[in-house]
Amino acid sequence: MAADERDRFLEDGCAALEWAADYLDRVGELPVLAQVEPGEIRARLPAAPPEQAESFSDVLRDLDEVLLPGITHWQHPRYFAYFAVSASRPGILAELLAAALNPVAILWRTSPASTELEGLVCDWGAQLLGLPAGWHGHIEDSASTSTLAALIAARHATGRELVVCSEHAHSSVEKGARMLGMELRKAPVDDEFRMRVDALDLTRAAVVVPTVGTTSTTSVDPVPAIADLCAQTGTWLHVDAAYAGTAMVCPEHRWAFAGVERADSLVVNAHKWMLTPMDCSLLWTSRPADFRAAFSLIPEYLRTPDAEDALSLSEYGPALGRRFRSLKLWAVLRCHGRAGLQRMVREHVRLAERFEGWVRDEPGWELCAPRPFSVVCFRREGSDAENEAILERVNASGDLFISHTRLRDRYVLRLAIGSERTTEDDVRRAWDAIRAAI
Ligand SMILES: Cc1ncc(COP(=O)(O)O)c(C=O)c1O
C-alpha cells in the first residue's frame, strides 16, 4: 500500500471509529424508531452510482445527514421491541478486524484459524451455557438458517417429511418446512403458551422443534416430555432457544432448559442476548455425522485429504464461503467473561420483573402471560384498537419503541429488555410514557 493510501486509511479509520464512539454515546438522545416515511431515504440518495471515486469522508457525511434519520436505533437504551439486542464494543471492533482479514472459510485450509476459532468459541459457549461436553458447534448467519439446516439434517437422518412445532414456534420453522417442501403440523399450546404434549403424535415426524423462549411470550415448551416422545419414535429433537439460550449462563435459569441436553440440535443466537453484533447464530449438534452426511458435497476442485475435509465447517451447513464470525464472539466472551454475561442477564430479568410489578399494581392494566425471562406481555383493559393506539402513540414519540403480539385473539403489548444500555430509569420512563398514552 502506498504511504498516502495508508495515511488516508488511518485518517478515515480514526474518523469512522470516532463516529462510532460518539454514536454509542449519544444514541439515547435520538428517536428510537426512525421517524421517516417509506421511500423517503432512498429519494434523498443519488439514483445512479458515481463515475469517479468519492472520498470516504463523503460516505461518512451522508451516513450522518441522509441515513441516520432513517435508522431505527437497536442500540438505544429504550429499544424494547421484538427482542432487544446489543452490539457491545469488543464485538464491534472485532467486526472491523474480521473485515480486514476477510478470510473465506470454504475449507479448513483456506482459513485454519477462523475454522478452529469457530469450533473453540462454540465449545466455550457450550461450557458457559452448561451444555453436554463434546457437542459439535458451528456458526450460521441466523436462527432461520440454523433451523433450516437442522430440518435438512433431520430429514436426511430419518427419511421422513413431517415437521412438528407448536403454534407459538417462530415463523422460521414454518418457512424452513415450506422451503424444503416438508409437511408442517402445529401442536396446540396450554394456557401458558407451552406446547401441549398430551395430544402430540410424533410417529411420522422427522423433527420436532420445541422452543425455550417463544417469540411472543418467551414461554418454555416441555422439552423433557418431548424428548421422551422423540426417543420412542426416532424423531429428531431440534431446540430453538434463539433468544433465551443466553440465560443458561445463569444457573438459576437452567430449570427452563431441562431436557435440552437430550437435543439432536440446538440454536442460540449470540446476536440476540449475547452482546454480539449481527449476525452470529450458534448451532450445536450431538449428531455431527448426520449433519455431515446431509451437507457434504465436495467437487473435485475443493477436494483435500479426507481428514482435512472433516474439519471444514462448510461440510455441516448450507454455505460454502463462511465469514470470520467467531472473532467477534471470541472478543465478546473474553472482554465480558462469564461474570459479565451473568450480570447483564440478571439485570435485564430484574428490570423486567420491576416493570411486570408496576403493571400488576396499576388499576386498568393487566399482564397477559407468565414472564420467565426479560419480556413482559401486557395490555390496557379495553379494546384492541385502544391498545394499538397506545403502541402507535408511544412509538411515534420517538422516546421508546415497543412491539405487540396477539394472544388468545387479543392485541397485546410487549416490552422486551435486552440492551446493555437500558437502566431502571429507562424502564420507568417507558412505563410513564405508556401510561400517559392512554
Ligand atoms: C424463538 C426464535 N427463533 C428464531 C428466530 C429467528 O431468528 P433470526 O432472525 O436469527 O433468523 C427468532 C427471531 O426473533 C425467534 O424469536
- Contact indicator for 226, 184 with CB cutoff of 8 Å: no
pLDDT band for 1, please (50, 70, 90 cuts). low
Q: Which residues contact 194 (CB under 8 A, 6 or more apart)?
A: 166, 219, 220, 221, 222
**d(C-alpha 143, C-alpha 146), whole Å:** 5
Measured distance CA(12)–CA(15) in Å, rounded: 5
Mean per-residue pLDDT, 45-68 = 97
Which tens digits make up the pLDDT trace of 317-370?
A: 999 999 999 999 999 999 999 999 999 999 999 999 999 999 999 999 999 999
pLDDT level of residue 308 (50, 70, 90 thresholds): confident
Whether the predicted pLDDT of 305 surpasses 90: no
Q: Is it the case that residue 52 has pLDDT exceeding 70? A: yes
Q: Tell me what pLDDT residue 199 has.
A: 83
Residues 6+ away with beta carbon under 8 Å from 11: none
Tell me the CA distances in angstroms from 190 to 222, 228, 298, one per residue in order. 11, 19, 46
- C-alpha Rg value of the chain to the nearest Å: 23
> Which atom of ligand 1 approaches the CA of 213 most closely?
1
Q: For the packed helices 143-158 and 288-295, what is the interaxial angle rounded to 10 degrees?
A: 90
Kindly give the distance from the C-alpha atom of residue 240 to the centroid of ligand 1, in angstroms, as a whole number.
8
For residue 242 and ligand 1, the question of a CB distance below 6 A is answered with: yes
User: Phi and psi dihedrals of 77, rounded to 5?
Assistant: -65, -20
Of 7-16, 66-75, 295-304, 336-345, least confident by mean pLDDT is 295-304
Amino acid at 217: T
**Residue 72 main-chain phi, psi, to 5 deg:** -90, 125
Amino acid at 172: S
* Span from the CA of 147 to the centroid of ligand 1 (angstroms): 9
pLDDT digits (tens, 9 = 90+) for 172-208: 999 999 999 999 999 999 999 999 999 899 999 999 9
Query: pLDDT > 70: what percent of the chain?
Result: 100
Q: Is the C-beta atom of 168 inside 6 A of ligand 1?
A: no
Burial of 46 from C-beta contacts in 10 A (0-12 / 13-18 / 19+): exposed
* Number of helices (H), then strands (E), in the chain: 14, 11
Distance of CA 327 from the midpoint of ligand 1 (Å) = 22
Q: From the CA of 169, how far away is ligand 1's center (Å)?
A: 9
- 156-182, pLDDT tens digit by residue? 999 999 999 999 999 999 999 999 999
Ligand 1 atom closest to the CA of 241, numbered from 1? 1
Atom 5 of ligand 1, nearest CA residue: 143
C-alpha 287/C-alpha 284 separation (Å) is 9
259: left (phi over 0), alpha (psi -120 to 50) or beta: left
User: How crowded is residue 69: how many other Cβ atoms within 10 Å of its Cβ?
Assistant: 15
Cα 124 from Cα 131, distance rounded (Å): 10
Q: What pLDDT does residue 418 have?
A: 97
* CA-proximal residue: ligand 1, atom 7 (nearest): 143
Distance 357 CA to ligand 1 centre (A): 27
Q: Which grid cell sits at 406?
A: 396477539
Residue 139 · residue 280 · CB < 8 Å: yes
Q: How many CB atoms lie within 10 A of CB 78?
A: 24
Q: How far is CA 139 from CA 117, 118, 258, in A?
A: 11, 7, 23
Position 2 confidence tier, pLDDT thresholds 50, 70, 90: confident
In the reported structure, the alpha carbon of residue 304 is separated from the centroid of ligand 1 by a whole-number distance in angstroms of 35
pLDDT of residue 307: 78
**Mean of the per-residue pLDDT values of the chain:** 97
